[in-house]
Amino acid sequence: MNGLVPADGTPLLIGGKLTPGGSGVFATINPATEEVLGYAADASAADMDAAIGAARTAFDETDWSRDPAFRARCLRQLRDVMGEHLEELRELTIAEVGAPVMLTSGPQLEGPIADLSYAADLAENYAWETDLGTRELMGVASRRVIRREAVGVVGAITPWNFPHQINLAKLGPALAAGNTVVLKPAPDTPWCAAVLGPLIVEHTDIPAGVLNIVTSSDHGVGARLVEDPRVDMITFTGSTKTGRAVMASASATLKRTFLELGGKSAAVVLDDADIAAAASYTAFTVAVHAGQGCALTTRLLVPRASYDAAVAAAASTLSGLAAGDPANAGTVCGPVISAQQRARVERYLALAKAEGGRIETGGGRPADRERGFFVEPTVISGLSNTATVAQEEIFGPVLVVIPHDGDDDAIRLANESPYGLSGSVWGTDPERVERVVAGVRTGTLSVNGGLWYHADAPFGGYKHSGIGREMGVAGFEEYLETKLVATPA
């Protein structure tokens, strides 16, 4: 496809060497055209075993975990070489992920590359030791020092929706903290991870075994990371259902687990807000990248008296955002990732109608798209907050509009969900807005369109949306152990 992808497919990176997959190769598909883009190495169980062994050896037998300045330099090398290949990576991301080109200047590509700088800076500037001073116990005076050290071998399992952002949000902090890593990316987007292998080998000083990249069509290969006792920690982003399985499997070896899972976030619109503006903004965000974002606000909670106006504004916005070619600069809503994902969205749309919902706009496949996994941006009205499509994560460009009866009721509805990942609040009275912010149990909240995403901002959720935080100092510290050392004063 381009200069980053070898003609015979992308290889694995194991122990500092680029190697073929023990199970051959598997295809990666362009979701906008349904065409085969090319092939990636299909790892076997033996390949994963070798990658884990390489990571274990690199952690136990090298100085990687004890040299933060070197780690920072390596991360900046990776940042720089990715920047040098930015346009090739952009082309690849649009084709493999179906990401609209507009997003590649932000969280789909350029943002995550720049965020490696933050991880490198943390490696150099973090307070690795904290002096607690001297205390006396039973006549013995001791000086106590807290040390922060790398966890060890980290298994990183990542999804397909924002592959660069999620891959690098795990690799940057984990490596900066001194860990070694085995990365298992989603089989839907193997190239976005695998193309890093040659760049690392040829353009960085990252030692052999410190970072291993294992692509595979078999989810069981990733499960081996969770089960293997040589792996000290699992960092996983994906569905809540799979997260539960990861947590259960990791418990056998008492692994530390970081889980960033699903969401069904609510946009709470108060009666003193600009109802139409809030509804239009929320609808727009649901169309971005075909709704394939766990933190998108896919429930719109509006005052009952303004319900019809909010539905009309949301439908008007989404009717003007047709699903289209992600390579076009004006496209907001590209394809969903696969035929399987499109079928999932369509099942939810049928269920919404069966439960009494009304499709205000969208609701099917675009008439002008014979190929590609496209779904029309859709607004659903007429359902309560307990309806299936209001409770379950769809992961498509679908917005459900729900009426509320005042601030307290809006808080109740927002929290009437198994998830607690994100949300938004719209209103003009600061005291009322703050009361809602304090009442809604989610990990991130946007007020009147404020943007929370950045490398220094911790991201994660409450309840079934996960355990732990990614990015920021809190995300960096997920990859650290705490050691207390006491010596005679």
Choosing from 110, 260, 360, 376, the catalytic residue is 260
DSSP string, 352-414: HHHTT-EEEE--S--TT-SSS-----EEEES--TTSHHHHS---SSEEEEEEESSHHHHHHHH
Residue that the structure tokens 């509805």 belong to: 413
Bridge pairing between strands 358-361 and 378-381: antiparallel
360 labelled catalytic: no
* Whole-number Cα distances in Å, 480 to 3, 62, 151, 207: 37, 18, 5, 20
* Whole-number Cα distances in Å, 90 to 102, 109, 146, 302, 320: 10, 7, 43, 38, 26
> Are the C-beta atoms of 167 and 192 separated by less than 8 Å?
yes
427 CB burial (10 A radius; 0-12, 13-18, 19+): buried
Euclidean distance between CA atoms 391 and 404, whole angstroms: 16
Bridge pairing between strands 466-467 and 256-260: antiparallel
Residues with Cβ within 8 Å of residue 255, at least 6 apart in sequence: 226, 231, 232, 233, 234
Catalytic residues: 260
